[in-house]
Structure 1
Amino acid sequence: MLNTFFPDMHSVLVFVLLSCFASICHTCNQLDKQALLSHSFIISSSSSTPLNWSSSIDCCLWDGITCDLHGRVTKLWLPFRGLRGSLSPSLANLSHLSHLNLSHNLLSGPLPNGLLSSFNHLTTLDLSFNCFSKELLSLPYSIQLVDLSSNCLSGKIQPSLVFGQARAPNLMYFNVSNNSFTGFFPLPSCNSFSLIKSLDFSVNCFTLKIPPGLGACSKLEVFRAGFNLLSGLLPFDIYNVTTLREISLPRNQLSGPIGDGIVQLSNLNTFEVYSNELNGEIPRDIGRLSSLEHLLLQSNNLRGNLPPSLMQCANLTTINIRNNFLEGDISALDFSKLQKLRTLDLGNNSLTGYFPLSLTSCTSLMTIRLDTNELEGQVLPDMVAMQYLSFLSLSANRLINITGAIRILTSCKNLSVAILGNNFIGEAMPDDGSILGSDGFQKLQVLGLGGCKLYGRVPAWIAKLRMLKVLDLSFNHLTGSIPSWFGNLPRLFCLDLSSNFFSGEFPQELCRLPTLSSRLDVPLVDIFMQPFNDYRLQYSGLTNVLPQINLRNNSLSGRIPLEIGKLILLHVLDLSLNNFSGSIPEQISNIRILEKLDLSNNHLSGEIPESLTSLHFLSSFSVANNNLQGQIPIGGQFDTFSSQSYEGNPQLCRPVLSSSCPSINRGNEQKIIQEEGGGFNIPWFHVTVGLGYATGFLVVCVTLLFQDSWRYAYFKFLSNMHDKVYVIVAVNMARLRRRLQR
């Protein structure tokens, strides 16, 4: 009887207690309710699931609200809800609030004065990814986590005001990255903040040196201050913080050596100080950093040999020491212990020796860049074991035996980028049709063999590369005609055959390249390559490859086919330094997004088509040294090009040139008068951009409109992709002079 009675009693008691707790928890404090209802962002929520905040509902049941047993609001948690509006000072009435998270919304306006410091129980503050503005004045005493990253905050951070001696002694995480803070670096005193674990000041405008004091942060694990204007030496006391897991200080102006004391940081996982002015040698005993996974030292002034002890860091996944002054025999290093290594980039140094045999045992490698060094020898047959290898750049070395290299690399099944240019000098282009086998280069998207002075013809095996998107055969000694089968490559959008000895005509089949003649999305490829090639500079920087056909400096003749206008997705067309004749096809005006058009140094005749003025993204244009005649078109981008674009055509006329037009018809005269005097207040001011760089231009515009809320995305865009922003502001001085005379 008792066995059956007590379970029933237990259920009843649980039901009663839950009912009591529910009635208590759902009795919202009226002061808290009014404080929440005062916020304008409640009404203007653009979320697909609107907030259920209503005066008729107990506020403890509202979305994102948590109450304690007394009905006081303790959590306001509404990230990613599309909220708009600003914070009301009445929020300070939530006196029991412990967690405030409004991150990843569209909130704006200043943080009300004294708001943050008024919360006596607040431990978590996350307002990241909004557009709150003005300064950061103070922090609550109870705070443990502060994330104000990716906002529009500005001004200086005064450590004495924001932190203070008696403020926030429990602070552990502090993030103000991606804002517009200026002034001295605001390092809090770790004597007062002994619990601090993470400090992130990256992507701001802090200046001068990092002050001493980090050495007292005995529990600090993450220190980030990249993308600022910091100068001076790396703070040596940072090497005393043995708890550090990450040091991130890229893209500053830091100088001096990397101290030997860094080897004391046994827990260090990430060390990135790239794009600074650091000099000296890499610490000899860096191999003692057994936890190191990411070593990013590229673009500094580091010298000396690559320390052999580095090969003892068995947990390394990324080594990037590109763009320095390293030297020594790389083949003497033993890479065999780096079995977790995925990326090795030692490009643009002065390393000597052969391709390291031990490197082929690192079977997890996906990216190898050893370009622009002084390596000798051949591509090793053992590379076939590197089945994850997808990116290989060995350009600008002294390698030999291109036929053997192609045969070996075809067995790397995942290889998508092979950049081998400026090697194999004077060898024959491999033309054996069986060199690929039945499944070779099935994933190859980029093939770079420029600057090798290879002789022979374009090999037919390239026609089998159905995934090929970028082909660079520039600066070789190739002869014969341009193969018509290029037009059948389904993914090709960048073809560079410049500076060879090709003859014959422009193949009409090129005008039907699928990725350039249809509206399908073109998957551009990011590789290390210079646009508008200079073989001495190729592959020296990360650039987004533009859709282009570059046949510059060959012996091509005949007319430019009218079908060229079908390449509607082309950005660059360079046919200069050839023997083309006839007129300039008016159909080129169909290529609306064309950025560069170079037809100079040919035998073209007739007039420049007026329709080319509709190419609004054209930022580079030349028809110099032809036999053109007539009036140069007026309007659009043609008002921005200098006389050098037309020189060597004595029968061309325009006021910008020394020759004047013998006669101008009434329509053109009226057009000039309207442009100079009517319609716009400032008709002589022109801004032009190329479409390939239009993204950067739009980012600039957005930055001007929204200031710093988008600045982090802009910085990242420039860091990882290195796209160039070309904004050409051209002022027609002749028209301005006429205005001043009137």
Structure 2
Amino acid sequence: MNSFTGEIPPWLGRLPQLKKLHLYTNFFLGTIPATLFNNSNLPMLQILNLNHNQLSGSIPHAIFNQSSLIEIGIKNNSLSGRLPSDMCNNMAIIRLLFLSDNLLEGQIPPNIWKCTKLKILELSHNNFSGNIPREIGRLSFLTELFLGNNNGFRGVPPEIGNLSRLETLSIREASLTGNIPSSIFNISSLTTLSFSHNNLSGSIPTFHNLPQLQELYLHNNKFTGLAPSDVCNSMPYIRELYLSRNLFEGRISSNIWKCRHLEMLGLQYNNFSGNIPRAIGNTSTLREMHLAYNHFTGELPEEIGALPMLEIFDVFSNSLYGSIPASIFNMSTLKTIQASHNKFSGILPSNLGNSLVNLELLYLASNRLNGPIPSTIVNASKLTILDLNLNSFSGSILYFWVN
């Protein structure tokens, strides 16, 4: 790793046989010298990598006339201005275009479709706005598309659903409104789909054409209705499923507990109701379960304690009642138990803490728990927060201080 500083030297433009120019991860300042690309100074250049520097100003138009380029990487700088409307007229073989993490603005040029060989397009973390051009749907070789964290796009063009090779689609935090076009859920090659932190609404179409999907992020939107019932039948490899902070309602589909590879489940801040079913014990790969701020009722199933990899268990602010299964307090993998603001009752097990060797956070406040606080809680040696407020515990806790 180098630490070059100053401006990019213009003499690099006097190397006519240069094929690859890697100046990434340095401290170069100033603008990109347009003279590097004027008059076909670098007719053989295939890769231009200026990622992770401190470059500023606009991107020289001459770069987009460099017809030999296969890869352009200028992400994580401070480049500003607009992309030229004819940016792809002379870039017939460009495959990788990395322009994320800059200060670029304006609309994405509809001309983008003329970069017909593009496989990866990164424009996220800029100030782009307006319409996402429908012409993006003509980039038939595209496998990764990142448009998130921009000023405000108006909606998702259904033509994106034509990208039959697309594996990653991320348009998070871009002020999107309206529905997700059903065509998006027909891209059978998708492995990652993220529309989180937008203002999307309506119901979620069926997932039946996403057999390769592993990560689905739809949290922090305004989706309504029932969550799709075909989650695991249609997405057998799903690992991360985030539907939190929406307006979903009704019972969780029993199908969701058939996800054999599910590691993270985020359903918090919705209007889900009904019982948490015993079939939850089938999700043996689950590491995080977030069910807080819903309307779940009934007792916690004992089967939760059989989840061998669970680290975070969060049912904060529901209407769950009955005793907390002793099996949960025997889970050595748990780091967080958040069960406050429910209607749990009964006493805590006398061996509490003996098995919770990794527990850091224990929240049981605002319930109806009673009896003594077990002295074995001191065996949870990694515990940093213990909240037992607003219950009906009794007895002495002097032994905690003595020990």
TM-score grouping bracket, smaller chain normalisation:
0.7 to 0.9
Equivalent residues of 1:313, 1:338 under 8 A apart: no
* In structure 2, C-alpha distance between the alignment counterparts of 1:588 and 1:424, rounded to whole Å: 40
Shift of the alpha carbon at 1:580? 1.2
Please, what TM-score do these two structures have when normalized by structure 1? 0.45
One-letter code aligned to 1:467: S
1:635 aligned to which of 330, 333, 337 = 330
Counterparts of 1:60-71 in structure 2 under 5 Å? none
Show CA shifts across 1:354-393 (max 9, x none).
Answer: 2243554232221111112222333334333323211001
Q: CA 1:436–1:350 in 2, change beyond 3 Å: closer, same or farther?
A: closer
One-letter code aligned to 2:340: E
* In structure 1, C-alpha distance between the alignment counterparts of 2:50 and 2:104, rounded to whole Å: 16
One-letter code aligned to 2:171: L
Is 1:474 aligned with 2:169? Answer: no
1:343 aligned to which of 71, 76, 93 = 71
Show CA shifts across 1:46-96 (max 9, x none).
Answer: xxxxxxxxxxxxxxxxxxxxxxxxxxxxxxxxxxxxxxxxxxxxxxxxxxx
Equivalent residues of 1:584, 1:608 under 8 A apart: yes
SS at the partner of 1:314? Answer: coil
* In structure 2, C-alpha distance between the alignment counterparts of 1:328 and 1:736, rounded to whole Å: 55
One-letter code aligned to 2:79: L
* In structure 2, C-alpha distance between the alignment counterparts of 1:451 and 1:636, rounded to whole Å: 36
Q: CA 1:378–1:296 in 2, change beyond 3 Å: closer, same or farther?
A: same
* In structure 1, C-alpha distance between the alignment counterparts of 2:190 and 2:210, rounded to whole Å: 7
SS at the partner of 2:118? Answer: coil
Identity of aligned residues (%): 30
Equivalent residues of 2:330, 2:356 under 8 A apart: no
Is 1:307 aligned with 2:33? Answer: yes
In structure 1, what is the equivalent of residue 373 of structure 2? none
Shift of the alpha carbon at 1:686? 4.4
One-letter code aligned to 1:402: N
Is 1:447 aligned with 2:169? Answer: yes
SS at the partner of 2:256? Answer: helix
Q: CA 1:299–1:600 in 2, change beyond 3 Å: closer, same or farther?
A: farther
Is 1:418 aligned with 2:145? Answer: yes
Shift of the alpha carbon at 1:575? 0.5
Q: CA 1:548–1:640 in 2, change beyond 3 Å: closer, same or farther?
A: closer
* In structure 1, C-alpha distance between the alignment counterparts of 2:192 and 2:100, rounded to whole Å: 18
Shift of the alpha carbon at 1:470? 2.0
Equivalent residues of 1:613, 1:637 under 8 A apart: no
* In structure 1, C-alpha distance between the alignment counterparts of 2:235 and 2:380, rounded to whole Å: 46
Equivalent residues of 2:333, 2:358 under 8 A apart: no
Is 1:575 aligned with 2:267? Answer: yes
Q: Unaligned regions of 5+ residues in structure 2, if any?
A: 361-375, 382-398
* In structure 2, C-alpha distance between the alignment counterparts of 1:687 and 1:646, rounded to whole Å: 14
* In structure 1, C-alpha distance between the alignment counterparts of 2:311 and 2:28, rounded to whole Å: 38
Q: CA 1:494–1:367 in 2, change beyond 3 Å: closer, same or farther?
A: same
In structure 2, what is the equivalent of residue 395 of structure 1? 124
In structure 2, what is the equivalent of residue 361 of structure 1? 90
1:735 aligned to which of 369, 375, 379 = 379
In structure 1, what is the equivalent of residue 308 of structure 2? 616
Counterparts of 1:152-301 in structure 2 under 5 Å? 250=1, 255=3, 258=4, 279-301=5-27
SS at the partner of 1:488? Answer: coil
What do you get for the CA RMSD once the two structures are aligned?
Answer: 3.1
Show CA shifts across 1:256-294 (max 9, x none).
Answer: xx3xxxxxxxxxxxxxxxxxxxx4332343323444433
Is 1:587 aligned with 2:272? Answer: no
* In structure 1, C-alpha distance between the alignment counterparts of 2:17 and 2:303, rounded to whole Å: 63
In structure 2, what is the equivalent of residue 157 of structure 1? none
In structure 2, what is the equivalent of residue 505 of structure 1? 226
Counterparts of 1:680-691 in structure 2 under 5 Å? 685-686=357-358
Q: Unaligned regions of 5+ residues in structure 1, if any?
A: 1-249, 259-278, 518-546, 653-660, 677-682, 689-731
One-letter code aligned to 1:421: G
* In structure 2, C-alpha distance between the alignment counterparts of 1:409 and 1:429, rounded to whole Å: 11
Equivalent residues of 1:513, 1:567 under 8 A apart: no
Is 1:549 aligned with 2:241? Answer: yes
Is 1:489 aligned with 2:218? Answer: no
In structure 2, what is the equivalent of residue 162 of structure 1? none
SS at the partner of 1:389? Answer: coil
Higher helix share: 1
* In structure 1, C-alpha distance between the alignment counterparts of 2:146 and 2:28, rounded to whole Å: 25
Equivalent residues of 2:357, 2:379 under 8 A apart: no
Q: Which runs of 4+ in 1 moved over 4 A?
A: 683-688, 736-742
Q: CA 1:290–1:589 in 2, change beyond 3 Å: closer, same or farther?
A: farther
In structure 2, what is the equivalent of residue 33 of structure 1? none
SS at the partner of 2:56? Answer: strand
* In structure 1, C-alpha distance between the alignment counterparts of 2:149 and 2:20, rounded to whole Å: 30
One-letter code aligned to 1:734: V
Shift of the alpha carbon at 1:422? 3.0
Equivalent residues of 2:110, 2:135 under 8 A apart: yes
* In structure 2, C-alpha distance between the alignment counterparts of 1:358 and 1:478, rounded to whole Å: 30
Show CA shifts across 1:454-490 (max 9, x none).
Answer: 221221222432322222122222222221x223323
* In structure 2, C-alpha distance between the alignment counterparts of 1:607 and 1:281, rounded to whole Å: 65
In structure 1, what is the equivalent of residue 292 of structure 2? 600
Q: CA 1:559–1:409 in 2, change beyond 3 Å: closer, same or farther?
A: same
SS at the partner of 2:80? Answer: strand
In structure 2, what is the equivalent of residue 103 of structure 1? none
Shift of the alpha carbon at 1:338? 5.2
Shift of the alpha carbon at 1:453? 1.8
* In structure 1, C-alpha distance between the alignment counterparts of 2:291 and 2:149, rounded to whole Å: 27
Q: CA 1:736–1:561 in 2, change beyond 3 Å: closer, same or farther?
A: closer
Shift of the alpha carbon at 1:429? 3.7
Show CA shifts across 1:96-137 (max 9, x none).
Answer: xxxxxxxxxxxxxxxxxxxxxxxxxxxxxxxxxxxxxxxxxx
Q: CA 1:337–1:464 in 2, change beyond 3 Å: closer, same or farther?
A: same
One-letter code aligned to 1:397: N
* In structure 2, C-alpha distance between the alignment counterparts of 1:597 and 1:612, rounded to whole Å: 10
Counterparts of 1:23-62 in structure 2 under 5 Å? none
One-letter code aligned to 1:493: Q
Equivalent residues of 1:602, 1:626 under 8 A apart: yes
Equivalent residues of 1:564, 1:587 under 8 A apart: no
Equivalent residues of 1:413, 1:441 under 8 A apart: yes
* In structure 1, C-alpha distance between the alignment counterparts of 2:225 and 2:188, rounded to whole Å: 25
* In structure 1, C-alpha distance between the alignment counterparts of 2:73 and 2:377, rounded to whole Å: 48
* In structure 1, C-alpha distance between the alignment counterparts of 2:16 and 2:377, rounded to whole Å: 64
1:461 aligned to which of 183, 201, 204 = 183
* In structure 2, C-alpha distance between the alignment counterparts of 1:353 and 1:413, rounded to whole Å: 28
1:562 aligned to which of 249, 254, 257 = 254
Q: CA 1:489–1:582 in 2, change beyond 3 Å: closer, same or farther?
A: same
* In structure 2, C-alpha distance between the alignment counterparts of 1:687 and 1:298, rounded to whole Å: 42
Q: CA 1:423–1:663 in 2, change beyond 3 Å: closer, same or farther?
A: closer
SS at the partner of 2:255? Answer: helix
* In structure 1, C-alpha distance between the alignment counterparts of 2:174 and 2:380, rounded to whole Å: 50
Q: CA 1:307–1:564 in 2, change beyond 3 Å: closer, same or farther?
A: same
Equivalent residues of 1:394, 1:419 under 8 A apart: yes
In structure 2, what is the equivalent of residue 372 of structure 1? 101
Q: Which has the larger radius of gyration?
A: 1
One-letter code aligned to 1:461: S
In structure 1, what is the equivalent of residue 56 of structure 2? 327
In structure 2, what is the equivalent of residue 352 of structure 1? 80
In structure 1, what is the equivalent of residue 339 of structure 2? 646
Equivalent residues of 2:54, 2:77 under 8 A apart: yes
Equivalent residues of 1:351, 1:373 under 8 A apart: yes
